[in-house]
A = this chain, B = another copy of it.
Amino acid sequence: LSNKTNDEIVPTLLTQHLKVKPVTMLTASRSPGYVASPHSKLQSMIWSNPIRNVFITKKPGTTTTREAMVKFITHLHDSYPEINVIVQPPVISEISNDFKTFPEQNPNHPHVLFTGENEDIVTKTDLMVTLGGDGTILHAVSMFHDMQVPPVLAFSLGTLGFLLPFDFSEHEVVFNQVMNSRAKCLHRTRLECFIVRKNDPKKISKLVSVHAMNDIFLHRGNAPYLAYLDVFIDGEYLTRTTADGIALATPTGSTAYSLSAGGSIVSPLVPSILLTPICPRSLSFRPLILPHSSHVKIRISTKSTYNLENNKINLSIDGRPYDSLDVGDEIHVINETGTIYLNGSELPPEYNSPDLFKRKSKIKYSGIYCVAKTENDWSLGINELLGFNSSFRFKPAKTKNDKPSNCSFEE
CB within 8 Å of B: which A212-254 residues = 221-222, 224, 230, 233-234, 236-244, 251, 254
**Interface code A396-409, partner B: CB below 8 Å = 1, 0 otherwise?**
11000000111111
CB-CB under 8 A from A62, the residues of chain B are: 305
The chain B residue sitting closest to A281, CB to CB, is B260
Tell me if A288 is interfacial: C-beta within 8 Å of chain B.
Answer: yes
Residues of B within 8 A of A244 (CB): 244, 260, 278
Is A283 a contact of B388 with CB atoms below 8 Å? yes
Partner of A290, one of B222, B267, B287: B267
- Docked Cα-Cα span, A287 to B344, in Å, equals 32
Residue pair B221, A387 in contact (C-beta under 8 Å): no
Please tell me how many copies of the chain the complex holds: 4
Residues of B close to A393: CB separation below 8 A: 160, 384-387, 405
Chain B contacts for A90, CB-based, 8 A = none
Q: Which of chain B's residues have a CB closer than 8 A to the CB of A385?
A: 392-394
A409-B237 contact, Cβ under 8 Å, with A39-B341, A260-B279, A271-B270: yes
Contact: A284 with B287, CB < 8 Å? no
* Chain B: minimal CB distance from A59 (Å): 9
Please state if B386 and A283 are interface contacts (CB–CB under 8 Å).
Answer: yes
> Given the complex of chains A and B, what is the CA–CA distance between A393 and B279 in angstroms?
17
Q: Which of A5-13, A48-56, A314-322 contacts B (4 or more CB under 8 A)?
A: A314-322
Distance in Å: Cβ of A234 to nearest Cβ of chain B: 7
Cα A117 to Cα B229 in complex, Å, equals: 39
A269 interface residue per 8 A CB criterion: yes
Q: Is the CB of A224 within 8 A of B319?
A: yes
A22 at the interface (CB under 8 A from B): no
Per-residue contact bits, chain A 51-95, to B (CB 8 Å; 1 contact, 0 not): 000000000011000000000000000000000000000000000
Query: What distance in Å separates the Cβ of A138 from its nearest Cβ neighbour in chain B?
Result: 12
For chain A, residues 153 to 167, give those with C-beta under 8 angstroms from any C-beta of chain B. Answer: 158-162, 167
Chain B residues, CB < 8 A from A116: none
**A26 interfacial contact with B, CB 8 Å:** no
Cβ–Cβ contact A284 & B386, under 8 A: yes
Q: Chain B residues near A390: list those with CB within 8 A.
A: 282-284, 387, 390, 404-406
Q: Which of A280, A294, A390 has the most C-beta atoms of chain B within 10 angstroms of its own C-beta?
A: A390
A205 within 8 A of B: no
CA distance A238 to B314 in the complex (A): 33
The complex places the Cα of A244 from the Cα of B319 at a distance, in Å, of 12
Asked if A391 CB lies within 8 Å of chain B CBs, one says: yes
Beyond A379-B236, A396-B158, A396-B167, is A389–B224 a contact (Cβ under 8 Å)?
A: no
Beyond contacts A284-B388, A289-B289, A385-B394: 15 other A-B pairs, Cβ-Cβ < 8 A, are A41-B291, A61-B305, A221-B221, A222-B321, A224-B316, A230-B409, A236-B379, A244-B278, A254-B289, A278-B279, A283-B286, A283-B390, A344-B376, A387-B406, A391-B406
Which 7 pairs from chain A and chain B are nearest by CB?
Answer: A283-B284, A221-B222, A269-B291, A260-B279, A285-B389, A266-B289, A39-B343
User: Could you name 21 residue pairs across A and B whose Cβ atoms are closer than 8 Å?
Assistant: A160-B393, A162-B392, A162-B394, A222-B222, A222-B314, A222-B321, A234-B376, A239-B388, A240-B409, A244-B260, A257-B279, A260-B280, A270-B272, A278-B279, A283-B283, A283-B284, A283-B286, A284-B390, A343-B375, A387-B405, A387-B406
